[in-house]
């Protein structure tokens, strides 16, 4: 079953982040440890690494705001 | 006097019950608890024999009897005193922390509020903190702003703490024993002006349950709810008003938090009128909580809004004339009662 | 300095259990599967393992919010720990404490505090109980360099030495107090110098040298058990990441980051094991076993139920609060 990619909790007071950029496209294969996407909070920009290997399915959009825990894609 | 009369007088004297002071009551309770349980220890400044057995003599004779490892005189280190008692309690002992004056609890607030009060909950019930924090305070001895505060409202607002204060020597003894045996942290407030109060010795192993108020005087027209030193003022005012045909029921809470809501509500349901009195500052005091709960429970049955009497909204002043003006006096108390009696909806 | 091979293996196992746990936690957080405040102890895996390897199961531990390494090295089971961090009712504290308040009396973990420095006075109390009862236990309290400037530290140091308590003050000096470098928050060169100010024995050690750290720890434990009083141990190490997971740590200069990587305890320990004639295959098998333990623990945690709302009324007092 594909693993969900959820927006992580990146700090004590951060509740919302902006998805800045996907490093891979929908349908591409990713390896665990690859930088998968970047997010921006009011504090900084953070790179998020893939925690699984597999085929990436993208649902989250660049430039959009998401809450902690929102699903933005899967790796299967 | 004839021989027979002298003999009668002598046997009357023998039959008289022995009296104890509040200090003696506290001392006896701690002594009896320490004799019964090795885990009961006392930490505080000047508490040992070497230092005179405590600034108010509450631990008099105890270090001689039980040793320095159980009556530990400490440096002036309230955080260390409080933390050591938290730790010893976590290990299953029953420590008593003595904080010389209530204003100094502020130095140890982290240990009391962030730790003692919360460890049972945060550990999911795996550990608990069966400690007693004994502290002295009171307005009227000219100690000034940093040595006279009654801070029970702060602690009542922290879930996990119980707060207790005696108004007489027998209750001092009974409440202290129960506080030591309670499996949760208890803040035991002693009043500096009440240490010399006497009552009949209630005897060995006397206990007064926590969470139970006492009806200090029965009445039918209005309920006067209070605790600690002001119970004495309340009883005097009740006596005076009795002469005016007003029957005042005086409730001595004994446990300030969690308080005996059942007894208080039943009384006010009966009388329809209530006044809450405390020496602590009136604004945001425990009286506000009690009054609020009475309004919630008995709104339609009350004959008047619940009145509150408490200390003035300032630091306790040093000058005697100002200090006396700061303290809630009997005229104010009587005035509040009359307000409820004269209230027209 | 030499060390018993079995003891070294013990230290290795504890260290790798902590290391794999921390890695797993960061992965769960980064994938968003777990969303909680987490204070990573990457870089401090070994220092705590060498300390805990010198203790008995029933010795007491007091630690802090950055304390999972201490708790795991002490023996807190991974399943109960992770369930607690994940806020499940099967956690050590029924989900009511979380990562900052892990408590597990069965392995001596008596309190974990979220307030810097508050553990030291409490550790004194635990040690005092052992002193009075003559039960032979010692208490270790772990804290960072940042805690050595708060009032409670000083009060506790003085009282511990005054009463000659069986307590060990383990300062894991990771060179940063929150976002502030050591030299910017403390005027003395070393925390160990503060021991003398309280008449206490103080020892400074490289926390990432397994043999030296264990030796220092063992001596302190033996002293405490023999009634000779407390020791302040300043164990040098590195906090290899930010203050908490997700925190930016660009305030650390590049030279410091290079230094940290060079001093990483995990490859150092691996090299030490090989020096002591352990086979890499043997070590890898141990780690594989730990990873399986970890997987099972994570599965257990995520399969567990959340606590009921009525848990809020329980454990405030001994008696339940009325609804």
Domains in chain C (CATH in brackets) are 5-300 (3.40.50.970)
Touching chains, A (3+ CB pairs < 8 A): C
For B260, which DSSP code?
-
Q: Collapsing DSSP states into helix, strand and coil, what is residue B124?
A: coil
Task: Give the integer Cα–Cα distance in Å for B227 and B213.
Answer: 9
**Encoding tokens for residue C292?**
């399986």
For the segment C9-14, the average pLDDT, to the nearest whole number, is 98
Q: Tell me: the pLDDT tens digits for C146-197? A: 999 999 999 999 999 999 999 999 999 999 888 888 989 999 999 999 999 9
Measured torsion, CA atoms of residues B318, B323, B327, B330, in degrees rounded to the nearest 10: 160
Nearest CA in chain C to A13: C37
Distance of alpha carbon C117 from alpha carbon C42, whole angstroms: 21
Residue in C with minimal Cα distance to A70: C32
B69 Cβ neighbours under 8 A, 6+ residues apart = B41, C131, C132
DSSP label at C321?
P
* Partner A contacted by C165 (CB < 8 A): no
Chain B residue nearest residue C307, CA to CA: B124
Q: Which residues of chain B register pLDDT less than 70? A: 1-15
Asked if C178 reaches chain A (Cβ–Cβ under 8 Å), the answer is no
Residue B16: the pLDDT is: 72
| Res C95: pLDDT | 97
Q: Which residue has the higher pLDDT, C123 or B3?
A: C123
Which residue in the set B38, B111, B125 is minimally distant from C118, CB to CB? Answer: B111
pLDDT at B250: 98
Segments of chain B assigned E as strands: 19-21, 40-44, 71-73, 94-99, 132-137, 162-164, 186-191, 198-200, 214-217, 222-226, 248-252, 255-257, 274-281, 307-311
The mean per-residue pLDDT over the stretch C300-313 comes to 98
CB contact set of C120 (below 8 Å; sequence gap of 6+): B83, C62, C141, C143, C147, C152, C153, C156, C157, C160, C169
Torsion sign across C-alpha atoms B136, B140, B142, B146: positive
Chains A, B in contact, 3 or more Cβ pairs below 8 Å: no
In degrees, rounded to 5, the angle at the alpha carbon of residue C106 between the alpha carbons of residues C102 and C112 is: 20
- Residue C300: how many other CB atoms lie within 10 Å: 18
SS3 letters for C208-258? CCHHHHHHHHHHHHHHHHCCCCCEEEEEECCCCCCCCCCCCCCCCCHHHHH
Model pLDDT, residue B216:
98
Which residues does chain C have within 8 Å of residue A4's beta carbon, measured at their own beta carbons?
31-33
Supply the pLDDT for residue A45: 85
* Selected residue of C100, C179, C241, C246 to mutate for chain A interface (largest A Cβ count, 10 A): C246
Tell me which residue of B90, B93, B116, B118 sits closest to B39, measured CA to CA.
Answer: B93
- Optimal mutation site among A11, A40, A73, interface C, most CBs of chain C within 10 A: A11
CA distance B152 to B202: 27
Closest CA to B28 of B20, B39, B40: B20
**In degrees, to the nearest 5, what angle opens at C-alpha B183 toward C-alphas B177 and B188?**
50
Reduced to 3 states, what is the DSSP secondary structure of residue C89?
A: coil
Q: What is the pLDDT of residue C242?
A: 83
Nearest chain A Cα to C32, which residue? A8
Q: Does C116 touch chain B (CB under 8 A)?
A: no
d(CA B112, CA B85): 10
pLDDT at residue B324, rounded to an integer = 96
Q: Which of B32, B45, B78, B98 is catalytic?
A: B78
Nearest CA in chain C to A48: C30
Question: What long-range pairs does B328-335 form, CB within 8 A, spacing at least 24?
Answer: B328/B230, B328/B233, B328/B277, B328/B278, B328/B279, B328/B282, B329/B233, B330/B233, B330/B236, B330/B237, B330/B240, B333/B224, B333/B233, B333/B234, B333/B237, B333/B275, B333/B277, B333/B309, B334/B237, B334/B240, B334/B241
The closest alpha carbon to B309, from B342, B274, B343, B341, belongs to B274
Predicted confidence (pLDDT) at residue C106 exceeds the cutoff of 70: yes
Q: Which of C201, C131, C141 is nearest to C166 (CA)?
A: C131
The Cα C104–Cα C238 span in angstroms is 27
Per-residue pLDDT tens over the stretch B161-213: 999 999 999 999 999 999 999 999 999 999 999 999 999 999 999 999 999 99
pLDDT (0 to 100) of residue B276? 98
C246 vs C276: which has the higher pLDDT: C276
**Residue of C91, C159, C316 lying closest to B159 (CB–CB):** C316
Q: Does C35 touch chain A (CB under 8 A)?
A: yes
What is residue C148's DSSP assignment?
G
Active site residue B278: no
Q: C71-95, pLDDT tens digit by residue? A: 999 999 999 999 999 999 999 999 9
Cβ pair C184, C164 in contact under 8 A: no
Q: Output the CA angle C254-C257-C263, nearest 5 degrees.
A: 145
Q: Which residues of A touch C247 (CB under 8 A)?
A: 11
Beta strands in C65-166 (DSSP E): 109-113, 139-144
pLDDT at position A12: 73
Q: For residue B77, which residues of chain C lie inside 8 Å, CB to CB?
A: 155, 158-159
CA distance B268 to A65: 56
Among the listed residues C28, C103, C90, the one whose alpha carbon sits nearest the alpha carbon of residue C64: C103
Residue C24 to chain B, least CA–CA distance (Å) = 24
Checking ipTM against 0.90, whether it exceeds it is yes
Choose among C27, C35, C245: nearest Cβ to A51. C27
Nearest to B90 among C126, C159, C163 (CB): C126
| pLDDT number for residue B252 | 98
Rounded to a whole number, what is the distance in Å from the CA of B319 to chain C's nearest CA? Answer: 34
Instruction: Reply yes or no on whether B157 is catalytic.
Output: no
Q: Rounded to whole angstroms, how far apart are CA atoms C187 and C205? A: 20
């Amino acid at each position: 079953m594909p693993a969900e990619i959820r927006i992580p909790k990146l700090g004590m007071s951060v509740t919302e982040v902006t998805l800045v950029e996907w490093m891979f496209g929908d349908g591409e294969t990713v390896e665990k440890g690859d930088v998968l996407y970047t997010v921006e909070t009011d504090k900084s920009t953070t790179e998020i690494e893939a925690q699984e290997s597999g085929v990436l399915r993208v649902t989250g959009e660049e430039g959009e705001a998401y809450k902690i825990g929102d699903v933005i894609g899967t790796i299967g | 006097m004839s021989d027979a009369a002298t003999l009668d007088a002598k046997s009357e004297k023998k039959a008289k019950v022995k009296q104890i002071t509040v200090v003696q009551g506290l001392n006896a309770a701690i002594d009896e608890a320490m004799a019964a349980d090795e885990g009961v220890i006392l930490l505080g400044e000047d508490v040992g024999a070497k230092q005179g057995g405590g600034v108010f003599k509450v631990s008099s004779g105890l270090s001689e009897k039980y040793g320095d490892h159980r009556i530990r005189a400490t440096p002036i280190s309230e955080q260390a005193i409080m933390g050591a008692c938290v730790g010893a309690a976590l290990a299953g002992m029953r420590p008593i922390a003595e904080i010389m004056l209530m204003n100094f609890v502020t130095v140890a607030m982290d240990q009391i509020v962030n730790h003692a009060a919360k460890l049972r909950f945060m550990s999911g019930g795996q550990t608990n903190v069966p400690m007693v924090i004994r502290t002295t305070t009171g307005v009227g001895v000219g100690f000034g702003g940093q040595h006279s505060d009654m801070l029970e409202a702060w602690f009542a607002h922290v879930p996990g703490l119980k707060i207790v204060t005696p108004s007489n020597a027998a209750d001092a003894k009974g409440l202290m024993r129960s506080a030591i045996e309670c499996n949760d942290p208890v803040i035991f407030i002693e009043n500096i002006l009440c240490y010399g109060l006497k009552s009949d010795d209630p005897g060995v192993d006397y206990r007064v349950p926590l969470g139970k108020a006492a009806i200090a005087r029965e009445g039918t027209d209005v309920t006067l709810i209070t605790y600690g030193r002001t119970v004495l003022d309340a009883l005097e005012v009740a006596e005076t008003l009795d002469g005016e045909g007003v029957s005042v029921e005086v409730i001595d809470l004994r446990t300030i938090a969690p308080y005996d809501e059942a007894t208080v509500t039943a009384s006010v349901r009966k009388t329809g009128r209530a006044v809450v009195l405390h020496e602590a500052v009136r604004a945001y005091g425990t009286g506000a909580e009690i009054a609020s709960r009475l309004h919630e429970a008995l709104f339609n049955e009350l004959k008047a809004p619940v009145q509150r009497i408490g200390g003035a909204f300032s630091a306790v002043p040093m000058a005697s004339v100002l200090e006396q003006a700061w303290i809630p006096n009997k005229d104010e108390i009587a005035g509040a009662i009359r307000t409820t009696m004269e209230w027209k909806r | 300095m030499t060390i018993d091979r079995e003891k070294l293996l013990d230290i290795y196992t504890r260290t790798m259990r902590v290391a794999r746990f921390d890695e797993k936690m960061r992965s769960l957080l980064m994938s968003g599967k777990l969303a909680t405040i987490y204070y990573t102890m990457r870089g401090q895996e070994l220092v705590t393992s060498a300390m805990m390897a010198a203790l008995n199961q029933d010795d007491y531990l007091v630690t802090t919010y950055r304390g999972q390494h201490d708790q795991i090295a002490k023996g807190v089971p991974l399943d109960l720990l992770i369930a607690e961090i994940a806020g499940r009712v099967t956690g050590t504290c029924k989900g009511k404490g979380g990562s900052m308040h892990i408590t597990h009396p069965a392995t001596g973990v008596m309190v974990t505090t979220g307030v810097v420095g508050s553990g030291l006075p409490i550790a004194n109390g635990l040690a005092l109980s052992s002193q009075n009862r003559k039960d032979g236990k010692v208490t270790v309290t772990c804290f960072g360099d940042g805690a050595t400037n708060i009032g409670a530290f000083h009060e506790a140091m003085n009282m511990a030495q005054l009463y000659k308590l069986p307590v060990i003050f383990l300062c894991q000096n990771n060179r940063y107090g929150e976002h502030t470098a050591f030299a910017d928050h403390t005027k003395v060169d070393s925390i160990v110098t503060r021991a003398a100010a309280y008449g206490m024995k103080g020892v400074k050690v490289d926390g990432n040298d397994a043999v030296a750290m264990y030796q220092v720890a063992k001596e302190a434990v033996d002293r405490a058990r023999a009634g000779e009083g407390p020791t302040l141990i300043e164990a040098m190490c590195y906090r290899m990441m930010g203050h908490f997971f997700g925190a930016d740590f660009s305030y650390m200069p590049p030279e410091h980051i290079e230094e940290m990587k060079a001093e990483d305890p995990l490859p150092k320990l691996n090299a030490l094991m090989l020096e002591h004639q352990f086979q890499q295959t043997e070590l890898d098998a141990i780690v594989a076993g730990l990873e399986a333990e970890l997987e099972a623990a994570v599965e257990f945690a995520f399969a567990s139920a959340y606590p009921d709302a009525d848990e809020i009324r329980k454990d405030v007092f001994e008696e339940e609060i009325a609804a």
